[in-house]
Structures are given as C-alpha cells and as structure tokens.
Amino acid sequence: MTPPVRTEEGGGHFGGRPPGALLSVRGLSKHYGGIQALDGVSLEIHAGQVHALVGANGAGKSTLVRILAGVETADEGEVSLGGRRVSISAPQDATKLGLSFIHQELNLVPKFTVLQNMALNYEGSRRLGLVDWRPVAARAGDVLAQLGADFPLDREVADLSVSQRWTVSLGRSLMRDARMVAMDEPTASFAADEAERLFAIVRDLAARGVAVLYISHRLDEVLDLSQDITVLRNGQLADRHRASDVDRQTLTRSIVGREVAEIERHEGSPDTVRDALMRIEGLVREPSVRGVTLDVRRGEILGIAGLVGAGRTELARLVFGAERAASGTMTLDGRRFEPKGPHEAIARGVALVPEERRSQGLLLKESLAFNVSLASSGQNRWRRGLPFLSAGKARAVAREMVERFAIKAHSVEADVESLSGGNQQKVVVSKYLRCQPRLLILDEPTVGVDVGARAELYEIIRARADAGTSVVMISSDFEEFAICDRVAVMREGRIETVVDGPHATKDTLTSLCYGTGAAGS
C-alpha cells in the first residue's frame, strides 16, 4: 500500500518538485448551516501540472472550486498566487488574477447564442464600453474549432446537447489566457471521442505552463492525466498522492475510506432461451436513428455503447415516446407499441431516466421528499396503486433512499438544489429504480456518481433485472458495461453488432465503436 505523501498542516511542497506553488490554499473552511462542507483544507497547485481533486459525492470538491472562483466566500483560510496572498471576493477578481473555471453546473444563458455566451465577461470584447464583436468572434471560432465543435457561433445554447454545452463552457474559459484552469467534472457528459479531445487540451495547457485543477470521478482518467492527487473526505484533506505512486485500488480506498470491490463482470451464459420483451425493427428518425433493429430480452441488462452522435439518446427517446419515429415498428410483449408520448410509454411500463437529469428529472427548489413523491405519482400506475404518495409516506420513502444510496443530505426536507451534484444524480436514479417498470432505460446512470455509490447502483440494477425488469443502459463509461448480459454497439444510427457480456471489454467496445475492430463475438 502506498502511504499518503503528507497529511500534516503547513506549507512545503511535494517530494522532488521545485519550490514555489503557483496557487496555494491554506486552511480553507466553509459551512452551510450544520454541514461543514470544507474543514481546514490546504492544497498546492503547480504551474505546468495537472492536479486532480477527488472525493466521494459531497466531499467538498465543488465548494473548494467555487471559493477559488469567487462564487462563494470561505469562512476561514487563505489563498496565495505566486507566493502573494490574494483576496477573491467576486468572480471578476478571479478572472483578473488569471484563474479560469468550468463549473459542474454550467452557467450558460440558454437564450443567448454560443458567441454571446462566450463573450460574457471577456475583457477583449469591450472597447469604449461597446462590444466589438469581430475579434471576439474570431477568437471564439478558433477556440471552438480546436475543440472540434460542430455547431455555429450563432446557435442558441438552448438548442445544444449536453456535451455541446460543455464544449461552449470549456471554450469560454480557454478564450482567456489563464494561469490556472479548474475543471469540475468536465468529462461527465462526454463520450470517448470527445473525452480524448479534452485530454489532449488538458495536456497541452499543462505543457504551456498552465496549472490545471481537475475534478473527476473517473479514476482511470485521473491516474492518466494528473501528476498530483488530493483526496477530500467529508470536507477534510484525507490524502495526497503522486499519481505515479498509486493504483486504482489504492485511490478508491483512499476516496471511500474502505475497500470497494471492482466491478464484477457478469458471467451468466448468454441465455438464448429467454424471449424478447421488446422488439424493435427498422426504426428510423433521421438524422440520428437510421434503421435500428434490436431485441431487448426479459430480465436482461442490455448495454448500448457508442460515440457521440451515434444516436443512442435519440433511440431511447423514440422508445419512450418522447419523439415519434418516421418508420419502423416496435412491439412490447408481442403487442404493437407506438407510444404517442411518454405518458403512454409509462402506462405500458416503460421508463426512461434521462441524460440531462438536473433539468428533466428534478425540481431543484423542492425538497428531496417532494421530488420522490412526484416520481411515484406517475409510476404507481404500473402497480395500479395509489395515485399519489402522501407527504408522510414520501418522507419515509425518501429516508429509505437516503439510507440505501448513502445520499448525503442533512434531511429529506432539504432542497435538492443544496445537494452536491453527484447526490442529485443519486436521487433521480434511485427514485426510478425503486419503482417497478417492465423496461427501464437508463441514459448515463452513473455520471457524476462516486466510485463507492456506483458499486451500489450496479448491485441494485442487477437485482432489478434478476427480479424481471429489462434494463437498457446507455453509457459512455465503457467499463461499466461489465454488468451487462449483452452490449449493443451503435454507430451512425444503426446497431453495428451485439456483443455478449463476457466479451464486452473496454478495448473491444472501443474499437467496435470506432469501427476499427472485428473483435468480439
């Protein structure tokens, strides 16, 4: 086992590095009501290095970033830049100091165009108080091209996909010549190809001497990209590691505070006897779904792998009735299935946990308990049960969920908005899992969920499938397909091939998604 590099308070630097951190944080504390979100955390970030900040959901990562960005004020502690103490009490202060941020909750203005969003607070954009658009547009265009963006500058942000919005946010922070860039879970909504582009950008930033503070729950990328790793646990500094000195398992233990089993590959023999619950034939909705034929068997977990634009989310939306197909057929249990809207899909026992959960799955200003009662009111129809959950029952159910998924909330009456990003995800996913649909479609179920809670989520999904629910799981984290019975690879709007669970390794799936490999079965 690798010992943590140091945990004692005080300055100093990590082993073998020249003195003089670019940014150093000393004894940072912050509380919200009764919750100590940060408790005396110290950290040093060096120019030209990638410093990863990891920790379970609610550990305090985003809080730290928000303080550095001047969005929140610390109760205690100090921040120095280049050895000199600085005060950051508003976002403009951070910008002036050359600190740039991509927050977990993108703060883009949906009604503004891409360009207008990118120009917000861009110093180069003002001359005599007026916006001079030409240089801004040129700069924005360059940056977006470098990011491989496939949308125009005059598109409204509201019309962009989740990952495209990330690209805008990333572009906005790259437009400024920053000394440090902090990224709070940048790859959470990126598929493999986009993530790779981001990694190249991160490496390039570091090579140009920029310090990068990088937050992620995907530990492989953390180990791959970073030199230093700081682990937060319950708002405290738990460990510091050199990335070259730790492996995934050690890091996981350091984050969760206990041993966590690696994802166990589902080795059940592909069961050809089990019949199909849903049959999809020749389903088309241009441009993204171009003739999908696929069976979903009873009680299986069927993964759907693919790159961005492969058509996975669109396929899910067709099945859920959120969109109508131009042609093709679907049957459920041998009967025609042509939902005219989600209500009809739900009535037949089909549920979708959408990719964009914060906006589609939650009422942020309402309590956890209220959010739970809402979900159930629609879904109880499947069990011909009560139309609504009473407030008391909702609280009881919410409490059970909090317990089961280790959701970090001070009470079930807490506004969902006050939960950390990953804990919000857990609320949505668990609320759907609790119900008993016949077909459950999960679009990126573990985005933003920490490594410990993930293991629990997988167990619950598996138990649901064993109890007879068919599960379709779309994911960009190819490792989690290990829990699947089968994995369909989608490419350019069609199902390229279906791989049996035991063969659905990350390498095989990656090459199939890119269309470069004939591996698999």
Among 485, 486, 492, which Cα is nearest to 513's?
A: 492
Name the DSSP letter for residue 124: G
3-state DSSP assignment of residue 512: helix
Least Cβ distance, residue 185 to Mg ion (angstroms): 7
Q: For 502, which DSSP code?
A: G
Region from 7-15, 58-66, 67-75, 344-352 binding Mg ion, contact rule CB under 5 A: 58-66
Q: CA distances (Å), 341 to each of 22, 346, 352, 361, in order?
A: 54, 9, 12, 17
Least Å distance between CB 186 and ligand ATP? 13
Helix or strand or coil: residue 333?
coil
Nearer to Mg ion, 61 or 241 (CB): 61
The token pair at 234 is 């319950």
Query: Which residue's CB is nearer to ligand ATP, number 16 or number 33?
Result: 33
Stretch that binds ligand ATP, among 20-28, 59-67, 200-208, 303-311 (CB under 6 A): 59-67
Residues 421, 437, 445, 520: which binds Mg ion (CB under 5 A)? 421
Q: How far is the CA of 179 from the CAs of 71, 74, 78, 119, 169, in angstroms?
A: 19, 22, 19, 19, 17
- Number of alpha carbons in the 13 Å side-chain half-sphere of residue 484: 30
CA distances to 62, 263, 352, 473, 475 from 302, in Å: 33, 16, 14, 6, 11
Q: Could you say whether residue 60 binds ligand ATP (CB under 6 A)? A: yes
Return d(Cα 398, Cα 166) in angstroms, integer.
Answer: 31
Which 36-55 residues touch ligand ATP, going by CB under 6 A? 37, 55
**Residue 189 found at the interface with ligand ATP (CB under 6 A):** no
Looking at the Cβ atoms of 379 and 423, the one nearer to ligand ATP is 423
From residue 89 to residue 118, the character string flagging contacts with ligand ATP as x (rule: CB under 6 A) and all else as - is ---------------x--------------
Q: Taking CB under 6 A as the criterion, which residues in 209-238 touch ligand ATP?
A: none
* 62 scored as a contact of Mg ion (CB under 5 A): yes
- Quick one: what does residue 388 bind among ligand ATP, Mg ion, none, with the CB cut-off 5 to 8 Å set by partner type? none
- Dihedral sign, CA of 127, 133, 138, 144? positive
State which of residues 29, 104, 373, 425 lies at the interface with Mg ion (CB under 5 A).
104
- DSSP per residue, 386-429: -SS--HHHHHHHHHHHHHHTT---S-TTSBGGGS-HHHHHHHHH
The item of Mg ion, ligand ATP, none sharing an interface with residue 35, based on CB under 5 to 8 Å by kind, is ligand ATP
Q: Which of 408, 454, 464, 491 binds ligand ATP (CB under 6 A)?
A: 408
State how far the Cα of 365 lies from the Cα of 386, in Å rounded to an integer: 25
For the CB of residue 475, give the shortest distance to ligand ATP in the complex, in Å: 18
Q: Which residue is nearest to ligand ATP (CB)?
A: 422
- The 8 Å CB, 24+ separation contacts for 89-96 are 91/121, 92/121, 94/68, 94/69, 94/70, 95/121, 95/123, 95/176
Phi, psi at 246, each rounded to 5°: -120, 155
The reply on whether position 35 binds ligand ATP by CB under 6 A is yes
Question: Does the protein bind ligand ATP through residue 32 (CB under 6 A)?
Answer: yes
Q: Is 62 in the site for ligand ATP (CB under 6 A)?
A: yes
Instruction: Count helices and strands (H / E) in the chain.
Output: 16, 22
Asked if residue 59 binds ligand ATP (CB under 6 A), the reply is yes
Question: Which residue in 49, 57, 95, 167 binds ligand ATP (CB under 6 A)?
Answer: 57
- Per-residue contact track with ligand ATP, 414 to 443, x per CB under 6 A? ----xxxxxx--------------------
Segment interacting with Mg ion, rule: CB under 5 A, options 103-111, 192-200, 301-309, 314-322: 103-111
- 261 phi/psi in degrees, rounded to 5: -70, 140
- The residues that touch ligand ATP, with contacts defined as CB under 6 A, are 32, 35, 37, 55, 57-63, 104, 408, 418-423, 450
- The residues that touch Mg ion, with contacts defined as CB under 5 A, are 61-62, 104, 420-421
